Chains A and B, each alone.
Chain A
Amino acid sequence: MDVNRLRRECVYEASTPIEALADDLARIESLAVEWRAARKRLFLAGVIAIAAGAIGLAVYYPVGLALIAVGIFLFVRTKSSPRAVANNVGRCEFGKSVAAMLAMDTEPKTPAAIRLAFNPKRDLLSENPLPHRKNGKQRLYKASWFSVETSLHDGTTFTETIDDLVRQRSFTNPRGKSKTKTRIHSLVGMRFAYPQKVYGDVTPLGARMRKEIQVPSTASVRGMEVTGRIVKVKALVTQSGDLARTSSMLALGVYRMLNLARELEARKRAQPKTGGAQ
Protein backbone atom coordinates (compact mmCIF):
# COMPACT_ATOMS: atom_id res chain seq x y z
CA MET A 1 0.00 0.00 0.00
CA ASP A 2 1.31 3.46 -0.96
CA VAL A 3 1.06 5.33 2.35
CA ASN A 4 2.88 8.38 0.95
CA ARG A 5 0.27 8.77 -1.80
CA LEU A 6 -2.50 8.33 0.73
CA ARG A 7 -0.94 11.04 2.87
CA ARG A 8 -0.25 13.39 -0.06
CA GLU A 9 -3.30 12.89 -2.32
CA CYS A 10 -5.73 11.14 0.06
CA VAL A 11 -6.14 8.35 -2.50
CA TYR A 12 -5.82 4.60 -2.11
CA GLU A 13 -5.40 2.85 -5.45
CA ALA A 14 -4.38 -0.77 -5.87
CA SER A 15 -4.76 -3.91 -7.88
CA THR A 16 -4.76 -6.59 -5.26
CA PRO A 17 -6.50 -9.89 -4.48
CA ILE A 18 -9.87 -9.41 -2.80
CA GLU A 19 -8.66 -11.16 0.34
CA ALA A 20 -5.85 -8.58 0.76
CA LEU A 21 -8.19 -5.66 0.12
CA ALA A 22 -9.88 -5.86 3.50
CA ASP A 23 -6.48 -5.85 5.22
CA ASP A 24 -5.41 -2.71 3.33
CA LEU A 25 -8.65 -0.93 4.22
CA ALA A 26 -8.31 -1.93 7.88
CA ARG A 27 -4.78 -0.47 7.82
CA ILE A 28 -6.09 2.81 6.40
CA GLU A 29 -8.64 2.93 9.23
CA SER A 30 -5.91 2.59 11.83
CA LEU A 31 -3.75 5.17 10.01
CA ALA A 32 -6.69 7.57 10.04
CA VAL A 33 -6.98 7.20 13.82
CA GLU A 34 -3.23 7.78 14.22
CA TRP A 35 -3.28 10.82 11.94
CA ARG A 36 -6.24 12.36 13.73
CA ALA A 37 -4.43 11.96 17.06
CA ALA A 38 -1.21 13.39 15.56
CA ARG A 39 -3.08 16.44 14.21
CA LYS A 40 -4.58 17.10 17.64
CA ARG A 41 -1.19 16.78 19.35
CA LEU A 42 0.55 19.09 16.86
CA PHE A 43 -2.26 21.64 17.00
CA LEU A 44 -2.20 21.70 20.81
CA ALA A 45 1.60 21.98 20.86
CA GLY A 46 1.41 24.84 18.33
CA VAL A 47 -1.14 26.74 20.45
CA ILE A 48 1.01 26.31 23.57
CA ALA A 49 4.18 27.41 21.70
CA ILE A 50 2.52 30.57 20.35
CA ALA A 51 0.99 31.42 23.73
CA ALA A 52 4.37 30.93 25.39
CA GLY A 53 5.96 32.97 22.60
CA ALA A 54 3.56 35.86 23.25
CA ILE A 55 4.56 35.85 26.92
CA GLY A 56 8.21 35.42 25.92
CA LEU A 57 8.08 38.57 23.77
CA ALA A 58 7.37 40.60 26.89
CA VAL A 59 10.15 38.96 28.91
CA TYR A 60 12.94 38.35 26.39
CA TYR A 61 11.86 38.91 22.81
CA PRO A 62 14.36 36.56 20.96
CA VAL A 63 12.93 33.61 22.92
CA GLY A 64 9.39 34.82 22.20
CA LEU A 65 10.10 35.04 18.47
CA ALA A 66 11.66 31.56 18.48
CA LEU A 67 8.64 30.07 20.26
CA ILE A 68 6.22 31.71 17.83
CA ALA A 69 8.25 30.32 14.92
CA VAL A 70 8.08 26.85 16.49
CA GLY A 71 4.31 27.25 16.89
CA ILE A 72 3.86 28.20 13.22
CA PHE A 73 6.03 25.23 12.20
CA LEU A 74 3.83 22.90 14.26
CA PHE A 75 0.68 24.29 12.61
CA VAL A 76 2.20 23.68 9.18
CA ARG A 77 3.15 20.15 10.25
CA THR A 78 -0.50 19.30 10.94
CA LYS A 79 -0.96 19.32 7.14
CA SER A 80 1.17 16.17 6.91
CA SER A 81 -1.62 14.25 8.66
CA PRO A 82 -4.49 14.82 6.24
CA ARG A 83 -7.86 15.50 7.79
CA ALA A 84 -9.82 14.14 4.79
CA VAL A 85 -8.84 10.52 5.46
CA ALA A 86 -10.01 10.70 9.06
CA ASN A 87 -13.18 12.61 8.13
CA ASN A 88 -14.18 10.07 5.48
CA VAL A 89 -12.95 6.92 7.16
CA GLY A 90 -16.48 5.47 6.78
CA ARG A 91 -15.56 4.90 3.14
CA CYS A 92 -13.16 2.17 4.29
CA GLU A 93 -16.07 0.42 6.00
CA PHE A 94 -18.03 0.63 2.76
CA GLY A 95 -15.04 -0.71 0.79
CA LYS A 96 -14.70 -3.62 3.21
CA SER A 97 -18.38 -4.42 2.84
CA VAL A 98 -18.10 -4.53 -0.97
CA ALA A 99 -14.93 -6.62 -0.72
CA ALA A 100 -16.66 -9.07 1.63
CA MET A 101 -19.59 -9.40 -0.79
CA LEU A 102 -17.30 -10.01 -3.77
CA ALA A 103 -15.06 -12.42 -1.84
CA MET A 104 -17.95 -14.89 -1.63
CA ASP A 105 -18.15 -15.19 -5.42
CA THR A 106 -14.55 -14.59 -6.50
CA GLU A 107 -11.43 -16.72 -6.56
CA PRO A 108 -9.37 -15.58 -3.56
CA LYS A 109 -6.33 -14.80 -5.73
CA THR A 110 -8.22 -12.87 -8.43
CA PRO A 111 -6.98 -9.28 -8.46
CA ALA A 112 -9.44 -6.46 -7.92
CA ALA A 113 -8.66 -2.95 -9.14
CA ILE A 114 -9.83 -0.49 -6.53
CA ARG A 115 -9.68 3.28 -6.17
CA LEU A 116 -10.82 5.02 -3.04
CA ALA A 117 -10.50 8.81 -2.82
CA PHE A 118 -10.98 10.54 0.53
CA ASN A 119 -10.83 14.08 -0.83
CA PRO A 120 -11.93 13.79 -4.47
CA LYS A 121 -11.92 16.67 -6.90
CA ARG A 122 -15.36 18.22 -7.31
CA ASP A 123 -16.41 18.78 -10.91
CA LEU A 124 -18.85 21.65 -11.32
CA LEU A 125 -21.94 20.45 -13.20
CA SER A 126 -24.05 23.60 -13.06
CA GLU A 127 -24.36 26.98 -11.39
CA ASN A 128 -27.67 28.82 -11.17
CA PRO A 129 -29.09 31.74 -9.22
CA LEU A 130 -31.23 30.74 -6.26
CA PRO A 131 -34.57 32.56 -6.50
CA HIS A 132 -36.11 34.30 -3.46
CA ARG A 133 -32.72 34.57 -1.70
CA LYS A 134 -30.39 37.55 -1.49
CA ASN A 135 -27.13 36.70 -3.31
CA GLY A 136 -28.58 33.22 -3.72
CA LYS A 137 -26.59 30.77 -5.78
CA GLN A 138 -26.89 27.04 -6.31
CA ARG A 139 -24.00 24.93 -7.50
CA LEU A 140 -24.10 21.25 -8.37
CA TYR A 141 -20.90 19.19 -8.25
CA LYS A 142 -19.96 15.62 -8.94
CA ALA A 143 -17.20 13.90 -6.96
CA SER A 144 -16.19 10.35 -7.88
CA TRP A 145 -14.67 8.61 -4.88
CA PHE A 146 -14.97 4.87 -5.33
CA SER A 147 -14.46 2.34 -8.08
CA VAL A 148 -13.81 -1.37 -8.06
CA GLU A 149 -13.48 -3.91 -10.84
CA THR A 150 -12.93 -7.65 -10.65
CA SER A 151 -13.81 -10.96 -12.30
CA LEU A 152 -16.28 -13.25 -10.60
CA HIS A 153 -16.36 -17.07 -10.54
CA ASP A 154 -18.87 -17.21 -13.40
CA GLY A 155 -16.71 -15.14 -15.76
CA THR A 156 -18.63 -11.90 -15.23
CA THR A 157 -16.61 -8.69 -15.00
CA PHE A 158 -18.12 -6.64 -12.19
CA THR A 159 -17.59 -2.89 -11.93
CA GLU A 160 -18.98 -0.58 -9.28
CA THR A 161 -18.58 3.18 -8.95
CA ILE A 162 -19.82 5.75 -6.45
CA ASP A 163 -20.22 9.42 -7.33
CA ASP A 164 -21.30 11.99 -4.78
CA LEU A 165 -23.74 14.53 -6.17
CA VAL A 166 -23.23 17.67 -4.12
CA ARG A 167 -25.78 20.50 -4.05
CA GLN A 168 -24.35 23.65 -2.50
CA ARG A 169 -26.64 26.60 -1.84
CA SER A 170 -25.19 29.90 -0.67
CA PHE A 171 -27.10 33.08 0.21
CA THR A 172 -27.16 36.04 2.56
CA ASN A 173 -29.74 35.77 5.34
CA PRO A 174 -31.92 38.71 6.58
CA ARG A 175 -29.31 39.46 9.28
CA GLY A 176 -26.68 39.92 6.61
CA LYS A 177 -24.76 36.74 7.37
CA SER A 178 -23.41 34.59 4.60
CA LYS A 179 -24.81 31.05 4.72
CA THR A 180 -23.90 27.89 2.84
CA LYS A 181 -25.94 24.71 2.92
CA THR A 182 -24.70 21.47 1.41
CA ARG A 183 -26.64 18.32 0.61
CA ILE A 184 -24.92 15.18 -0.63
CA HIS A 185 -26.58 12.27 -2.41
CA SER A 186 -24.64 9.34 -3.81
CA LEU A 187 -25.05 7.67 -7.16
CA VAL A 188 -24.18 3.97 -7.16
CA GLY A 189 -23.38 2.58 -10.60
CA MET A 190 -22.93 -1.11 -11.33
CA ARG A 191 -21.96 -2.88 -14.51
CA PHE A 192 -22.04 -6.63 -15.06
CA ALA A 193 -20.34 -7.81 -18.28
CA TYR A 194 -21.70 -11.35 -18.23
CA PRO A 195 -20.57 -14.31 -20.37
CA GLN A 196 -23.25 -15.11 -22.95
CA LYS A 197 -22.31 -18.79 -23.08
CA VAL A 198 -23.39 -19.11 -19.43
CA TYR A 199 -26.42 -16.82 -19.33
CA GLY A 200 -27.51 -16.52 -22.94
CA ASP A 201 -29.02 -13.16 -23.84
CA VAL A 202 -30.75 -11.75 -20.75
CA THR A 203 -32.38 -8.86 -22.64
CA PRO A 204 -35.88 -10.42 -22.34
CA LEU A 205 -35.51 -10.38 -18.54
CA GLY A 206 -34.63 -6.67 -18.37
CA ALA A 207 -38.07 -5.37 -17.40
CA ARG A 208 -38.53 -8.07 -14.75
CA MET A 209 -35.05 -7.36 -13.40
CA ARG A 210 -35.95 -3.73 -12.75
CA LYS A 211 -39.17 -4.84 -11.03
CA GLU A 212 -37.42 -7.40 -8.85
CA ILE A 213 -34.61 -5.17 -7.58
CA GLN A 214 -35.15 -4.11 -3.99
CA VAL A 215 -33.37 -1.20 -2.33
CA PRO A 216 -33.64 0.45 1.11
CA SER A 217 -36.24 3.20 1.55
CA THR A 218 -33.48 5.83 1.33
CA ALA A 219 -32.51 4.70 -2.16
CA SER A 220 -34.17 4.49 -5.55
CA VAL A 221 -33.25 2.81 -8.82
CA ARG A 222 -32.64 5.55 -11.38
CA GLY A 223 -31.68 3.64 -14.47
CA MET A 224 -31.15 0.23 -15.95
CA GLU A 225 -29.78 -1.01 -19.23
CA VAL A 226 -29.77 -4.64 -20.30
CA THR A 227 -28.11 -5.84 -23.48
CA GLY A 228 -26.87 -9.16 -24.79
CA ARG A 229 -23.58 -8.68 -22.98
CA ILE A 230 -23.99 -6.13 -20.23
CA VAL A 231 -26.32 -5.22 -17.40
CA LYS A 232 -25.97 -1.68 -16.03
CA VAL A 233 -27.89 -0.33 -13.08
CA LYS A 234 -27.85 3.00 -11.24
CA ALA A 235 -29.36 3.94 -7.89
CA LEU A 236 -29.50 7.19 -5.95
CA VAL A 237 -28.85 6.91 -2.21
CA THR A 238 -29.77 9.77 0.12
CA GLN A 239 -28.17 8.36 3.30
CA SER A 240 -24.49 7.46 3.09
CA GLY A 241 -25.02 4.86 5.82
CA ASP A 242 -27.15 2.84 3.42
CA LEU A 243 -24.57 2.65 0.64
CA ALA A 244 -23.26 -0.80 1.51
CA ARG A 245 -26.74 -2.23 1.88
CA THR A 246 -27.89 -0.67 -1.40
CA SER A 247 -24.86 -2.09 -3.21
CA SER A 248 -25.56 -5.61 -2.00
CA MET A 249 -29.27 -5.35 -2.77
CA LEU A 250 -28.66 -4.05 -6.29
CA ALA A 251 -26.20 -6.85 -7.06
CA LEU A 252 -28.58 -9.45 -5.60
CA GLY A 253 -31.47 -8.12 -7.69
CA VAL A 254 -29.46 -8.29 -10.90
CA TYR A 255 -28.10 -11.73 -10.11
CA ARG A 256 -31.48 -13.13 -9.18
CA MET A 257 -32.48 -12.62 -12.81
CA LEU A 258 -29.07 -13.69 -14.17
CA ASN A 259 -29.43 -16.93 -12.21
CA LEU A 260 -32.86 -17.44 -13.77
CA ALA A 261 -31.32 -16.80 -17.19
CA ARG A 262 -28.66 -19.41 -16.48
CA GLU A 263 -31.34 -21.92 -15.48
CA LEU A 264 -33.35 -21.18 -18.64
CA GLU A 265 -30.22 -21.45 -20.76
CA ALA A 266 -29.35 -24.81 -19.17
CA ARG A 267 -32.89 -26.11 -19.79
CA LYS A 268 -32.73 -24.98 -23.38
CA ARG A 269 -29.51 -26.93 -23.86
CA ALA A 270 -30.97 -29.98 -22.13
CA GLN A 271 -33.98 -30.03 -24.49
CA PRO A 272 -33.91 -32.84 -27.05
CA LYS A 273 -33.11 -31.42 -30.47
CA THR A 274 -36.17 -31.50 -32.74
CA GLY A 275 -36.30 -31.43 -36.53
CA GLY A 276 -33.08 -32.05 -38.44
CA ALA A 277 -32.51 -34.45 -41.36
CA GLN A 278 -35.62 -35.87 -43.01
Chain B
Amino acid sequence: MTPPLPPDWKCPRRVGFLFPHACLRTTPVGCPDCQNGQIDDPYYARTDRYGYSRYGYYDDDYFFDYGPSYGIGIGTPDAGSMDFTEADGADLVQPGDQFENDMTES
Protein backbone atom coordinates (compact mmCIF):
# COMPACT_ATOMS: atom_id res chain seq x y z
CA MET B 1 0.00 0.00 0.00
CA THR B 2 1.40 3.43 -0.94
CA PRO B 3 1.83 5.92 1.91
CA PRO B 4 -0.53 8.94 1.90
CA LEU B 5 0.77 12.02 0.08
CA PRO B 6 1.43 15.25 1.99
CA PRO B 7 -1.32 17.85 1.49
CA ASP B 8 0.86 20.19 -0.58
CA TRP B 9 2.30 17.40 -2.76
CA LYS B 10 2.68 18.13 -6.46
CA CYS B 11 3.72 15.55 -9.01
CA PRO B 12 7.37 16.09 -9.99
CA ARG B 13 7.18 13.98 -13.15
CA ARG B 14 7.77 15.33 -16.66
CA VAL B 15 4.70 15.30 -18.88
CA GLY B 16 3.81 16.78 -22.27
CA PHE B 17 3.42 15.82 -25.90
CA LEU B 18 5.50 18.42 -27.76
CA PHE B 19 7.85 19.44 -24.95
CA PRO B 20 8.45 18.44 -21.33
CA HIS B 21 6.94 20.38 -18.49
CA ALA B 22 6.10 19.72 -14.87
CA CYS B 23 3.00 17.68 -14.22
CA LEU B 24 2.02 19.43 -10.95
CA ARG B 25 -1.05 17.25 -10.41
CA THR B 26 -1.87 16.85 -6.74
CA THR B 27 -2.38 13.10 -6.97
CA PRO B 28 -1.24 10.34 -9.31
CA VAL B 29 -4.58 8.55 -8.84
CA GLY B 30 -6.34 8.32 -12.18
CA CYS B 31 -3.53 10.17 -13.95
CA PRO B 32 -3.55 9.31 -17.67
CA ASP B 33 0.14 10.24 -18.01
CA CYS B 34 1.82 8.21 -15.26
CA GLN B 35 -1.04 5.70 -14.93
CA ASN B 36 -1.37 5.85 -11.16
CA GLY B 37 2.34 6.45 -10.64
CA GLN B 38 3.51 3.43 -12.62
CA ILE B 39 5.52 5.42 -15.22
CA ASP B 40 8.52 7.38 -13.94
CA ASP B 41 8.96 9.64 -16.99
CA PRO B 42 5.64 9.93 -18.84
CA TYR B 43 7.07 12.47 -21.30
CA TYR B 44 9.81 10.15 -22.53
CA ALA B 45 7.64 7.02 -22.35
CA ARG B 46 4.95 8.26 -24.77
CA THR B 47 4.41 5.99 -27.76
CA ASP B 48 1.90 8.14 -29.70
CA ARG B 49 4.36 10.38 -31.54
CA TYR B 50 3.89 8.72 -34.92
CA GLY B 51 7.26 8.27 -36.67
CA TYR B 52 9.25 10.05 -33.99
CA SER B 53 10.78 7.22 -32.02
CA ARG B 54 13.14 8.34 -29.21
CA TYR B 55 11.62 11.81 -29.50
CA GLY B 56 13.38 13.24 -26.45
CA TYR B 57 16.76 11.68 -27.23
CA TYR B 58 19.63 13.43 -29.06
CA ASP B 59 22.89 11.71 -29.73
CA ASP B 60 26.20 13.54 -29.22
CA ASP B 61 26.36 14.61 -32.88
CA TYR B 62 23.61 17.15 -32.26
CA PHE B 63 25.63 18.78 -29.51
CA PHE B 64 28.89 18.67 -31.45
CA ASP B 65 27.18 20.14 -34.54
CA TYR B 66 25.16 22.87 -32.88
CA GLY B 67 26.95 23.45 -29.55
CA PRO B 68 29.35 26.02 -31.07
CA SER B 69 26.41 28.01 -32.48
CA TYR B 70 25.19 28.33 -28.90
CA GLY B 71 28.63 29.21 -27.57
CA ILE B 72 29.24 25.78 -26.08
CA GLY B 73 32.79 24.43 -26.42
CA ILE B 74 33.42 21.46 -28.74
CA GLY B 75 34.25 18.28 -26.87
CA THR B 76 32.31 19.17 -23.76
CA PRO B 77 28.84 17.91 -24.58
CA ASP B 78 27.85 18.07 -20.93
CA ALA B 79 30.31 19.80 -18.68
CA GLY B 80 28.18 19.18 -15.61
CA SER B 81 28.32 15.40 -15.97
CA MET B 82 32.14 15.43 -15.85
CA ASP B 83 32.17 16.66 -12.26
CA PHE B 84 32.64 14.05 -9.59
CA THR B 85 29.85 13.74 -7.09
CA GLU B 86 29.66 12.38 -3.56
CA ALA B 87 28.30 9.13 -4.95
CA ASP B 88 31.39 8.78 -7.18
CA GLY B 89 33.58 9.25 -4.09
CA ALA B 90 31.69 6.55 -2.22
CA ASP B 91 32.28 4.15 -5.09
CA LEU B 92 36.02 4.81 -4.87
CA VAL B 93 36.28 3.91 -1.18
CA GLN B 94 33.84 1.00 -1.36
CA PRO B 95 34.83 -1.11 -4.35
CA GLY B 96 32.33 -3.74 -5.31
CA ASP B 97 34.77 -6.62 -5.30
CA GLN B 98 37.65 -7.62 -3.09
CA PHE B 99 40.27 -7.86 -5.84
CA GLU B 100 42.52 -5.08 -4.52
CA ASN B 101 42.53 -6.57 -1.01
CA ASP B 102 43.27 -10.11 -2.10
CA MET B 103 47.07 -10.39 -1.91
CA THR B 104 47.10 -13.92 -3.21
CA GLU B 105 46.27 -12.63 -6.67
CA SER B 106 49.10 -11.58 -8.94
Contacts and interface: CB of A to CB of B under 8 A. Distances in A.
Nearest to B78: A267
Interface stretch (A25-33, A143-151, A255-263): A255-263
Contact of A245 (B21, B50, B66, B78): B50
Given A259-B56, A260-B58, A260-B62, A252 B70 contact: no
A126 interface: no
Contact of A255 (B19, B50, B66, B73): B19
A47 to B, nearest CB: 48
A104 interface: yes
Chain B interface, >50% SS class: loop
Given A205-B66, A252-B49, A268 B18 contact: no
A252 B72 contact: no
Interface in B2-31: 15-21
Given A204-B69, A245-B50, A270-B80, A105 B58 contact: no
Contacts of B70: 200, 204, 261, 264-265, 267-268
Contacts of A258: 19
A256 B50 CA distance: 13
A255 B49 CA distance: 12
A127 B10 CA distance: 60
Given A104-B16, A153-B21, A214 B50 contact: yes
Interface string B40-71: 00000000011110011010001101110111
Interface string A225-265: 00000000000000000000100110111011011111111
A252 B18 contact: yes
Interface residues of A, number: 32
A153 B55 CA distance: 19
Contacts of B92: none
Contacts of A248: 49-50
Given A204-B66, A263-B58, A268 B71 contact: yes
Contact of A252 (B21, B50, B62, B78): B50
A260 B67 CA distance: 10
A152 interface: yes
B1 interface: no
B93 interface: no
Given A208-B66, A270-B80, A105 B17 contact: yes
B72 A271 contact: yes
Contacts of B56: 259
Contacts of B17: 101, 104-105, 252
15 contacts: A101-B17, A101-B18, A105-B17, A105-B18, A105-B19, A153-B16, A154-B21, A208-B65, A249-B50, A252-B49, A253-B52, A255-B19, A258-B19, A259-B19, A260-B66
CB-based closest 6 A-B pairs: A204-B69, A104-B17, A255-B18, A264-B70, A214-B51, A153-B21
